[in-house]
Amino acid sequence: MKVLIVDDEHLARDRLSRMLATLDGVSVIGEAANGLQAVKLAAELQPELVLMDIRMPGMDGLEAAQHLAGFEEPPAVIFCTAYEEHALEAFDLQAVGYLLKPVRKEKLADALGKSQRVNKAQLVALSEDDTPRRTHISARTRRGVELIPIDQIAFFQADQKYVTVRHGNNETIVDDTLRELEDEFSDRFVRVHRNALVAAAHVIGLDKTADGHFQIRLRDVDVALDVSRRHVAAVRKFVKNL
């Protein structure tokens, strides 16, 4: 079994690595100090199992698990943490590994034997009704898995069955639907059209064209997006409050 260890504490990673080295059929193929590194390494190394801390700076273990679950062949995930919270009662410990620190070798070996892919329902249960919000959007590209920081995204735009993310001068296709993105990031993105969400932080103005239509202007973006009649009033109110 190929294992990736993820923990922001170097000593914790070393301890897990030493214990895994004593188990037959297990090999540590990499280590990461946070969720962002974990997702990138997992895409590159294709581990069968990820041992992951939950509370880490930047991207935490719950968000990283969300991204891993979207892989074509997602690895199993075993969470390792020092925090025992009441939400864990909702977790099926016979199905998905959850280990309290300090991790014991016999508990680790048992969890490896029972490990399977973590699913969305279990992630929600683990986060105590507060579904972890992503700091990045993941996309599968020719280069592998690309992680796009939410604060760098200017807009999402749907075209038939695809949703494109505009970030800087780049455009990337993602698997999320506009409805899913709007529900998750309603406080950061504004619906301007049935096919477009724009980042509130990028909005700089609203223009009326010669033919009476409206378009939203975004900072550092060389295209103006149409605003549908249905959304004009709400967008105009938003722009006035900038």
- What domains sit in the chain, N to C, each tagged with a CATH number? 2-126 (3.40.50.2300), 148-240 (2.40.50.1020)
Strand-pair partners of 203: 218
Condensed to tens digits (0 to 9), the pLDDT of residues 213-224 reads 999 999 989 888
Token pair 């109110």 in the structure block, residue: 237
Give the separation between CA 41 and CA 47, rounded to whole angstroms.
9
Q: Is the pLDDT of residue 129 over 90?
A: no
Q: Is the pLDDT of residue 11 over 90?
A: yes
Q: What is the mean pLDDT of residues 195-206?
A: 95
pLDDT classification of 141: cutoffs 50, 70, 90 = confident
Q: In what order do the strands lie in the sheet with 189-193?
A: 170-174, 162-167, 153-159, 196-199, 189-193
Closest CA to 183 of 235, 134, 236: 134
The pLDDT of residue 74 is 87
Rounded to the nearest angstrom, the gap between the alpha carbon of residue 114 and the centroid of all alpha carbons in its chain is 25
